[in-house]
A = this chain, B = another copy of it.
Amino acid sequence: MHVDKLAVIGVGLIGASCALAFRGAGAVSQVIGVGRSQTNLDRACARGAIDRGVMLDDDWTHEVADADLVLIAIPVAQYRHVLAALADTLHEGAVITDAGSTKQDVVLAARETLKKRLPQFVPGHPIAGSERSGAEAGDPSLYVGRQVILTPLPETSPSAIALVADFWTACGARVARLDPARHDRILAAVSHLPHLLASALVAEIASRSDSAEYLGNAGSGFRDFTRIAAGSPEMWRDIALANRDALLSEIATYRTAIEALSLSIEHGDAAALETMLTRAAQTRREWAETAGGIATSGGS
């Protein structure tokens, strides 16, 4: 499993980490980075993530035309322009994949833009991140032991799927497959909703005139519960809007759960509270010992 030329479109935390991981696995010979910021491209070069950077404003397709593998790691809302350019540029042996956090919108954009290159596209989502951002936060071990979900289309070439799966496996990740709608539903519940809940709590406390006293007495529970709230506002805004329907459904379910919780406390219903807390504690402990312990042993 090796290709000569990898092109990474978007060399932020995710793109730089992927490039470093693929490199570290000996899976690529040269890496071209494409981005919006010369400063960040320079950092990606200095970090060893890419060999050469080219700006999205310049003639980047010329540099990418002979790539064997293209990884898209820009905000999902910006995919269309890039996919359309790739459709007109890439050779028929190239494989395209991505690292977007939502998949139905990515599949829709691909169907509308990639045309005859559609079978070469393997939508993907490496489930790992960090509240840090930019190429300098790139970490070759970010995907070790983590889950990468591929959501191929019926048209997707089996050899393209196999190549992308092999790349991720070489980086130490576990590869799973899901239907795009199922992916979005699951991620809404276990990723997008928790992120918004943590952000909403911090923003609400921050809005108080005496927020400093609240924050000054917050401890390690608050620290962990809210860590994800430090993430990129633009990225999470886009994810929330891109996964609107699944997220609204999850929020509605959660609001019902919180209403029940509130009633239990109001009525002093110790048994109901203990039942809920026991179910949560057992589930969380089991998760830590199985999937969670493996999938998230890394630092972020």
Contacts and interface: CB of A to CB of B under 8 A. Distances in A.
A86 interface: no
20 contacts: A128-B219, A186-B217, A189-B214, A190-B214, A194-B225, A201-B254, A203-B279, A203-B283, A206-B282, A211-B283, A218-B295, A221-B227, A224-B225, A226-B287, A229-B280, A231-B281, A233-B280, A244-B268, A252-B262, A255-B255
B205 A189 contact: yes
A274 B234 contact: yes
A254 B200 contact: yes
Interface in A232-287: 232-234, 236-237, 240-241, 244, 247-248, 251-255, 257-259, 261-262, 265-266, 268, 270, 273-274, 276-285, 287
Contacts of A280: 198-203, 206, 226, 229-230, 233
Given A191-B221, A203-B277, 4 more contacts: A194-B226, A203-B257, A220-B295, A220-B300
A43 interface: no
A193 interface: yes
Given A197-B225, A251-B262, A270-B241, A287 B218 contact: yes
A170 interface: no
Given A234-B274, A248-B262, A265-B251, A225 B228 contact: yes
A296 interface: yes
A264 to B, nearest CB: 8
A149 interface: yes
Given A265-B241, A274-B234, A258 B258 contact: yes
Nearest to A230: B284
A111 to B, nearest CB: 22
Nearest to A223: B296
Contacts of A281: 199, 229-233
A195 B224 contact: no
